[in-house]
Amino acid sequence: MLKPVPVLRLPRGPDGTSRGFDPFSPRSQAAASGSGGASPGRQLQQLQQLRAELRERYLRSLLAMSGRPVRFALHERVRVAARFAASDLDVANFHVADLQTPLGTQREALLRCSDIIAYSFQLGPDPRDPRPTPAALR
């Protein structure tokens, strides 16, 4: 024998045609924003500040990467290594030197940033700095 299943009916919404709660109520607005009632202008300002900080960090990492050996992980599980030279203004391409690929070495190359999944490089003394490092002085 079939057992009846209870159905939960929500009250009619404020417009009379829908079921549910008023999406424009203060409680619903606060829950949707996730900030506990912060004004939308303040949220936008915080978001812009966060984006500016992240962009500055990214650009500083590009500056620190200049002239250093970098390892790139590309699509299709391809791993390559190269010496980073520069990026274009839109940061859409990386100019690299001595690109070591599975097929051989290219003296100069452009890598599309859309093809790059991740990259890594070692931080340490700047290779362009003519001053000797403390380890070299010993």
Q: What is the dihedral of CA 55, 49, 38, 29, to 10 degrees?
A: -30
pLDDT at 15: 60
- The mean pLDDT of 108-133, rounded to a whole number, is 82
Digit-coded pLDDT (tens) for 53-90: 999 999 999 999 999 999 999 999 999 999 999 999 88
Q: Write out the H or E segment, with its range, that includes residue 26.
A: helix 26-33
pLDDT at 8: 60
Please tell me the total number of residues recorded for the chain in this structure. 138
The helix/strand/coil state of 132 is coil
Pairing state of beta strands 116-121 and 104-112?
unpaired
Q: Which residue has the tokens 């001053």?
A: 131
Which residues on adjacent β-strands are paired with residue 72? 80, 119
Residues 80, 101 contacting (CB under 8 angstroms): yes
Domain 67-121 has CATH 3.90.1490.10: no
Give percent above pLDDT 70 in the chain. Answer: 68
Query: Of 1-10, 11-20, 112-121, 127-136, which one has max mean pLDDT?
Result: 112-121
